[in-house]
Amino acid sequence: MPQLSDATFQRISALMYESVGLSFADHKKALMSSRLALRLQRLGLSRFEDYAELLEDPDEGAEFQMAVDLLTTNETYFFREPRHFEWLQQELLSQRPRPGLSIWSAASSFGDEAFSLAMLLSDLQAQGLVNNNWSILATDISHRVLTAAREGIYPESRLRYVSPERLRRYCLCGEGPAEGQAMIKPELRTRVKFGQLNLTQPFSGLGPFDAIFLRNVLIYFDPPTKTAVVDRVLGALKPGGLFFVGTAEGRVPCKTPLQALSPGVFRKMA
Ligand SMILES: C[S@@+](CC[C@H](N)C(=O)[O-])C[C@H]1O[C@@H](n2cnc3c(N)ncnc32)[C@H](O)[C@@H]1O
């Protein structure tokens, strides 16, 4: 097994920090080593130094993406932290009628969060509680998760918190070789637009959104990067709009004034 030296750990950490804002404290060296070791083996490399060189090569963008994927976790599932979806529903029902509604899942991973939102909005539309003019944008830095998200096929375990009615309405459950998998029906799939976006870089032309989900991604960033990301994302939220972060992520470090409503739920002050 190749050894990751302190110097190469710092070298890869610096690269990850500068390009995508990922922050690795010293005690994360073993984690980095174990997550990348298999990749080195696949590529036939015996030294982390050679892998660092590869990551620094501007022509090796795909390998860089691969390393980001290996160093972050894409863990997600449908209706994760269900209280957040209840908050959103309550908000939408208390502010009717709305001319339109747009929501951003800002670190969407495989799209579970975005399709959960689409199921909720589609239900409300079927009940005549929101009109047809709603849209969901889902973005992530990882090309790999976005490609899978666009296909909309999930192991059924990830849909464990989806009610049987919603499963029937919005999913096609696999049979035979596809047993244990569910596919989001095309009608719902087309309601979510996926795109690649690095939250640590400035962006323009997004929003303004009525609600933003920025959940379980801030954990990767150091405090200054967290603040910059949160303020940047909040710039795309309408005043009065709801902002969601993972409940385990603690205080939201930002300059934009927010009203705390519940764990992980905030309102952008007008
Ligand atoms: C744990 S998943 C969160 C998924 C979903 N929001 C949830 O809470 O279930 C974190 C996602 O953040 C993405 N990510 C990490 N750094 C990012 C960055 N700089 N810009 C955009 N997305 C990033 C990862 O690719 C990963 O898919």
Find the radius of gyration of the CA atoms of the chain: 20
Residue 145 alpha carbon, nearest atom of ligand 1:
27
Task: Tell me, using a 6 A CB cutoff, whether residue 141 lines ligand 1.
Answer: yes
Fold of 82-268: Rossmann fold (3.40.50)
| Domain 6-71 identical in fold to domain 82-268 | no
pLDDT band, very low/low/confident/very high, at 77 (cuts 50, 70, 90): very high
DSSP secondary structure code for residue 45 in this structure: -
Give which of 174, 154, 61, 71 is closest to 112, Cα–Cα: 154
Q: Are 237 and 243 in contact (CB under 8 A)?
A: yes
DSSP secondary structure code for residue 87 in this structure: H
Residue 76 alpha carbon, nearest atom of ligand 1:
9
Distance of CA 106 from the midpoint of ligand 1 (Å): 8
Residue-wise pLDDT tens digits, 208-259:
999 999 999 999 999 999 999 999 999 999 999 999 999 988 788 899 999 9
CATH code of the domain made up of 6-71: 1.10.155.10
Distance of CA 199 from the midpoint of ligand 1 (Å): 9
Please state, in angstroms and rounded to a whole number, the distance separating the CA atoms of residues 189 and 238. 25
Q: Any idea where the domains of the chain sit in the sequence?
A: 6-71, 82-268
Distance of CA 217 from the midpoint of ligand 1 (Å): 5
SS3 (DSSP) at 209: strand
Residue 246 alpha carbon, nearest atom of ligand 1:
8
Task: Tell me, using a 6 A CB cutoff, whether residue 264 lines ligand 1.
Answer: no
Residues annotated as catalytic are 35, 140
CA-to-CA dists, residue 4 to 10, 13, 61, 66, angstroms: 10, 12, 22, 18
pLDDT in the model for residue 82: 96
Distance of CA 43 from the midpoint of ligand 1 (Å): 26
Residue-wise pLDDT tens digits, 8-42:
999 999 999 998 989 999 999 999 999 999 999 99
